[in-house]
Each structure stands twice: as C-alpha cells, then as structure tokens.
Amino acid sequence: MKRGIAKHLATGILLLGLLLAAGIPALAKNSGTVYLMHDAVLHGKTLPAGKYYVEWKTHSPEATVQFSQRFRVVLFTEGRLERRHKIYDRDMVVYDMKPDGSMALMEIRFANSNKVLVFNQ
C-alpha cells in the first residue's frame, strides 16, 4: 500500500516539475500594455492616442513589434530591445517633438523591468 502511494507521489512530483519547466518560457514577458497620451508617429504611421497592447519577438537585439487595440493589430514595425541598468517603476513612453509639431515615438519603458523597446525613426 505504501509503495503505491510513494509511486503516485513520485509521479506527481515529476509531472509538476515538467509542467513548471514547460511554463518557464511563459514567464519571460514579451508584452505589455501602454497608454499613448498623444498621437504618435512611428515609422511614418500614426498611432492615435489610446491604450495599446504591445507584443514583441526578439531577434537579438532587434525585435518585431506588434501594436494591437481591441484584439485588432493596428501596426507591425521593427524596433530594438535594450536592457538598461535602471529598473523602471512605471510604464513610460518617450516622444521626440518634430518641427511640424508631430510626436515621434522613440521608446517604451516597462514597469518593474529594465527592458526598453527602442524605435529608430
């Protein structure tokens, strides 16, 4: 009887370990939500002010970045993922004011992370 319980316990522990190991890539967060307070220009396209879900896939250090709103992709673009020495305490968007008055999106900094998405205009 004890042998059967030990066998099931060992199987359960092994299964739990495999599930945790399989879930580790999911812990590497490659997405976030960002609020654009101003209309922003990114690689010649305008992103209206609002809430966006941002997701990226890295190609070390280049990244393919996707902006979505309400489950609809509104922009695919290229960027670069940088790691900084500072861990930011809140989400931040860095703009560059252009001579025509438009705001170019330069960086997205994510809360509780040292990851920064950088966009070259």
Q: What is the mean pLDDT of residues 64-78?
A: 95
Using a 10 angstrom Cβ sphere, with 0-12 exposed, 13-18 middle and 19 or more buried, the burial of residue 115 is buried
Total structural domains within the chain? 1
Q: How confident is the model at residue 120 (pLDDT cuts 50, 70, 90)?
A: confident
- Residue 84 is assigned to a structural domain of this protein: yes
**What is the model's pLDDT at position 29?**
73
Ranking 13-17, 61-65, 86-90, 92-96 by mean pLDDT, the lowest is 13-17
- Residue 55 is assigned to a structural domain of this protein: yes
State pLDDT tens for residues 13-44.
545 444 444 444 444 479 999 999 999 999 99
- Residue 95 is assigned to a structural domain of this protein: yes
- Residue 86 is assigned to a structural domain of this protein: yes
CA 106, 110, 111, 113 dihedral sign is: negative
Three-class DSSP labels, the chain? CHHHHHHHHHHHHHHHHHHHHHHHHHHCCCEEEEEECCCEEECCEEECCEEEEEEEEEECCEEEEEEEECCEEEEEEEEEEEEEEEEECCCEEEEEECCCCCEEEEEEECCCEEEEEECCC
- Residue 12 is assigned to a structural domain of this protein: no
- Residue 41 is assigned to a structural domain of this protein: yes
Q: What is the largest CA-CA distance in the chain?
A: 80
- Residue 22 is assigned to a structural domain of this protein: no
Distance CA 9, CA 12 (A): 5
* Host domain of residue 57: 29-118
pTM score, whole prediction: 0.73
- Residue 101 is assigned to a structural domain of this protein: yes
